[in-house]
Amino acid sequence: MFAIAIKLSTAMGFGGYIYFEAKNQDLVKHYSGKFGASMIPTRLHGYRMEIFEEEAQILIEKYTLEGDLNVR
């Protein structure tokens, strides 16, 4: 799912940058360790995270996608 979001972000001109909200602290640790995600300090949601362009590129190279997403 992250690879799809990153591909859409790239196609829309955001360089692969994405942000999202993890459900709990265990997922925060998982996303941080496995995907290089970082916490975003905010009062709105305790587990808001982001993946920057460099980490996004690594994920796209690792998790290739079949087909085109037809992004306009």
What ranges do the domains of the chain cover? 2-62
State pTM to two decimals: 0.81
First to last CA, the chain: 19
Sign of CA dihedral 11, 13, 14, 20: negative
Model confidence at 20: pLDDT above 90 = yes
Q: CA nearest 67: which of 18, 17, 16, 4?
A: 4
Mean pLDDT computed over every residue of the chain = 89
The rounded distance, in Å, linking the Cα atoms of 47 and 28 is 7
Confidence class of residue 69 from pLDDT cuts 50, 70 and 90? low
